[in-house]
Amino acid sequence: MSELPLDAYYDLTQIGEAAVSPAGDRVAFTATEYDQAADEPVSSLFVAPTDGSREPHRLTSASGAAEPTWGPDGDRLAFVAARERDAEKRVGWRDRDDEESAKNAEADEGSAESEDDEEGESDGDDPLGGDDEPKPQVWVFDLALGGDARQVTERDEGVADFDWSPDGDRLVIESRDPTDAEADYLDQVREEGGPIETTRLQHKVNGAGWTDDVTRYLFVVDLDDPESDPRRLDDAYGGGAFEDIAGMDPTWGPDDRIAFTSCRLDRPDDTTVRDLYVVSADGGDAERLTSGTLSHGAPAWRPGTETLATVASDPDDPPAPAEVYLVDAEEDGSGGGGDDPVSLTAALDRTVARGGGIEWVDGAIYTRIADESRTRLVRVETDGTAERVFEAQGRDRAMAGFDVAADGSTAAVVFSHPTEGTDVHTVAVDDLDAATGGGRAGDDAATEPDSLRRLTRVNESLTDEFAMPEARRVEWESAGWTLDGVLYHDPDVDPEAGDHPLVVAIHGGPMSYDEPEFGFGHAALTSRGYLVFRPNYRGGTSRGREFTAELTGKWGTAEVDDIAAGVEALADRGWVDPDRVFGHGFSYGGIAQGFLVTQEPDLFAAAAPEHGIYDLRSAFGTDDTHVWLEAEFGLPWEDPEAYDASTAVLDAGNIETPLLVMAGGEDWRCPPSQSEQLYVAARKRGVDAELVVYPDEHHNIGDPDRAIHRLEKILGWYETHDPAVETDD
């Protein structure tokens, strides 16, 4: 068994969005690679024929790309990028000894690129971030004519989202539009380092930073007249607590009307409600189609009709599943649309999976749901009939993306498999519903249809050179529930042989779930002899509302019992050495470790909580989730007992576990002050502890050097506190 070198992270490629052309003959997708010289991720755009007859063709290299969207003619492909020029591919691992000579070679290529490399990470979507980097704009490739992409927008504040008109001669774009006074304020903050001034309740948002009062509008861009200014639709404006990251979802429909989402309630920053609106592309008043009680997103017009479907959830009922709703947009002169939205998936008692959208095919909807620790497809009829389909997916891989051609012929599926990697596949839509028997090798799924084709092998060099982990599903009992999880192991290791060290990797959310998937971190651990256990504890999604509600407003209860019971079950089977169990987890995975080390101090030999919350009262108002916390726990001055009951640090007197506490310096979802509190509490107890803060990071893993560094720290922490490892002390 050879260890996966952590520097191999630079050889990792991660598939992002996939979009099928209208006729189903091509698929565009983004893939993120890692530039070692600049220490940054680079997202590139690719196109491949859906029949697999040719290798994917790279359209962009080093300037970033997102939101690939085909024009109605199928020859033009638009995307969003913050780019000044394209460049040669600059990604992949190289020996560190060669780094200095590589830097010298780059310096000879010109000062402009060298200055870009020295800038490091851009400010992303932060509206108050630096102004040195280009802003995201819409670019269009004409694949029939060839050549480079043409920039079709030039907004000072960039473009957040867009959609094509049905005739392909216009775009609707979403963009911030500051007044003169607001522009002066932005300049003062960005260029002069002036003070942040805000009156917004949602004063900051993770990944966007400090918020401001600049309004987002929709604009119509005439592609046939590139010299004309975009036309602002004055009544198509946004609003809402998380609009800085959620956006307005502009979607162009029939009769030259555009659907979008916004919150125009009296206190838009005090709710996550998002209503659905429609507006004429010529301007005029926007019509609200929904009732101001749900959070609507991902609107999709049913072709040839005045009906839309959305994915919506109830902000006042946190454990309730996100459901597919049918919305009547027929113009009736009332300014309020047609009938009230109707849920089409209420009877499923399953949530639409995170990132799940709506794909109309022949009057029915395909969407991804979370179902029994698995992301899978359902077909939903407009009468509310819902059927689980595509059994050929199996239970040994995750469906990370899905899109359907406008003509309904072909679907693109992004599969993530623990051993094979994450790749783009295509399949005939007719085969999604086909009844088949048999099974994939090593799985109980249905036989793969002949039309299912794997188009990419983006991590082939990595998976060929290094052993990726195998995964199996495991079950155990806790509090009357039969629970499940995923156990990863090196292919040369037999989990049942016994007494292996175990890393308990706890998912975030907590409203999420784990299923077998490809992960560099998994391989880094399993190649060093660890089993990796990912438990699906109560409070997660995929098993219905009752299962999720077990943890709502009661953090530090069900998940502690379930995770501890899962570890005990593996130890009782003789698979795991109970003295060599280690904690791991990010976000709620970090939060759960806080409860585990204060309530089950003998469970872990060492733990590495990352980006967590450990004092719920002090988190309120210092993070960006005050709306979510109020919905789940009430207000801290009205329900202090609820907050204290879900606060791990109040039981810090029980901490005995060595803690590696990690945080992002600009994480507004789980502020770094939370990690500081847990760290100081452990040190006050005399427990071995270390605090690692990544100054410029948000609530994420960040750039490749940070991803590698965190794995080095975690692995080193486990080894240092492994009772089976001899030390010099």
Mean pLDDT of the chain: 91
Q: For the chain, how many structural domains are there in total?
A: 3
Q: Is residue 149 part of a domain?
A: yes
pLDDT value for 115: 30
The label of the residue with tokens 């607590």 reads: 241
Same-domain status, 420 and 501:
no
Q: Strand 342-343 to strand 359-361: parallel, antiparallel, or no bridges (unpaired)?
A: unpaired
Q: Give the pLDDT band of residue 132 (cuts 50, 70, 90).
A: low
Token pair for 586: 């990010």
Same-domain status, 456 and 501:
no
What global pTM score does this model have?
A: 0.91
Conformation bin of residue 45: beta by default, left when phi > 0, alpha when psi is -120 to 50: beta
pLDDT value for 83: 83
pLDDT value for 253: 96
Q: Is residue 211 part of a domain?
A: no
Q: Is residue 188 part of a domain?
A: no
Last residue of a domain, one of 159, 184, 212: 159
pLDDT value for 68: 98
Residue range 482-520, pLDDT digits in tens = 999 999 999 999 999 989 999 999 999 999 999 999 999
Compare 103 and 196 and report the one with higher pLDDT. Answer: 196
Token pair for 391: 């059994």
Residue range 653-676, pLDDT digits in tens = 999 999 999 999 999 999 999 999
Contact 632, 659 (CB under 8 A): no
Same-domain status, 431 and 541:
no
Contact 690, 718 (CB under 8 A): no
Mean pLDDT, residues 691-713 taken together? 94
Q: Give the pLDDT band of residue 213 (cuts 50, 70, 90).
A: very high
DSSP 636-682: TTT-HHHHHHT-GGGGGGG--S-EEEEEETT-SSS-HHHHHHHHHHH
Same-domain status, 488 and 402:
no
User: Which residue range is the domain that position 460 belongs to?
Assistant: 344-465
Q: What is the DSSP-derived secondary structure letter of residue 263?
A: -
Residue range 544-603, pLDDT digits in tens = 999 999 999 999 999 999 999 999 999 999 999 999 999 999 999 999 999 999 999 999
Give burial (CB, 10 Å; 0-12/13-18/19+) of 229: exposed
| HEC per residue, 12-60 | CCEEEEEEECCCCCEEEEEEEEEECCCCEEEEEEEEEECCCCCCCEECC
Q: Is the pLDDT of residue 334 over 90?
A: no
Same-domain status, 620 and 708:
yes
Q: Is the pLDDT of residue 14 over 60?
A: yes
Cα–Cα nearest to 508, from 473, 546, 540, 476: 540
CATH number of the domain residue 667 falls in: 3.40.50.1820
Mean pLDDT, residues 15-41 taken together? 94
Q: What is the DSSP-derived secondary structure letter of residue 274?
A: B
Same-domain status, 502 and 396:
no
Q: Is residue 598 part of a domain?
A: yes
Q: How far is residue 237's CA from residue 307's CA, in Å, rounded to a whole number?
A: 22
Same-domain status, 569 and 712:
yes
Mean pLDDT, residues 77-103 taken together? 56
Q: Give the pLDDT band of residue 615 (cuts 50, 70, 90).
A: very high
Token pair for 336: 């309020």
Mean pLDDT, residues 706-710 taken together? 96
pLDDT value for 702: 83
Choice among 118-132, 308-322, 358-372 with the minimum mean pLDDT: 118-132
Mean pLDDT, residues 247-272 taken together? 97
pLDDT value for 96: 37
Q: How far is residue 644's CA from residue 376's CA, in Å, rounded to a whole number?
A: 38
pLDDT value for 689: 98
Same-domain status, 496 and 583:
yes
pLDDT value for 489: 98
* 636 Cα distance to chain centroid: 29
- Please name the residues in contact with 493: beta carbons below 8 A apart, sequence gap of 6 or more: 1, 500, 526, 529, 531
Choice among 235-239, 273-277, 338-342 with the minimum mean pLDDT: 338-342
Last residue of a domain, one of 465, 488, 509: 465
Last residue of a domain, one of 159, 183, 215: 159
Cα–Cα nearest to 326, from 361, 293, 287, 365: 365
Q: Is the pLDDT of residue 392 over 80?
A: yes
Same-domain status, 384 and 483:
no
Contact 411, 25 (CB under 8 A): no
Same-domain status, 481 and 603:
yes
Choice among 14-28, 381-395, 437-451, 519-533 with the minimum mean pLDDT: 437-451
DSSP 295-322: EEEEEEEPTTSSEEEEEEE-TT-TTSPP
- Please name the residues in contact with 147: beta carbons below 8 A apart, sequence gap of 6 or more: none
Q: Is the pLDDT of residue 95 over 50?
A: no
Q: Is residue 309 part of a domain?
A: no
Same-domain status, 380 and 523:
no
| Whole-Å CA distances, 611 to 231, 508, 587 | 42, 10, 5
pLDDT value for 106: 38
pLDDT value for 643: 98
Token pair for 150: 């043409």
Residue range 139-150, pLDDT digits in tens = 999 999 999 999
Same-domain status, 581 and 451:
no
Q: Give the pLDDT band of residue 86 (cuts 50, 70, 90).
A: very low
Contact 309, 296 (CB under 8 A): no
CA angle at 431 for the pair 428 and 436, rounded to the nearest 5°: 150
Q: Is residue 12 part of a domain?
A: yes
Q: Give the pLDDT band of residue 227 (cuts 50, 70, 90).
A: confident
Q: Is residue 622 part of a domain?
A: yes
Q: Is the pLDDT of residue 50 over 70?
A: yes
Q: Give the pLDDT band of residue 625 (cuts 50, 70, 90).
A: very high
Q: Give the pLDDT band of residue 100 (cuts 50, 70, 90).
A: very low
Q: Is residue 200 part of a domain?
A: no
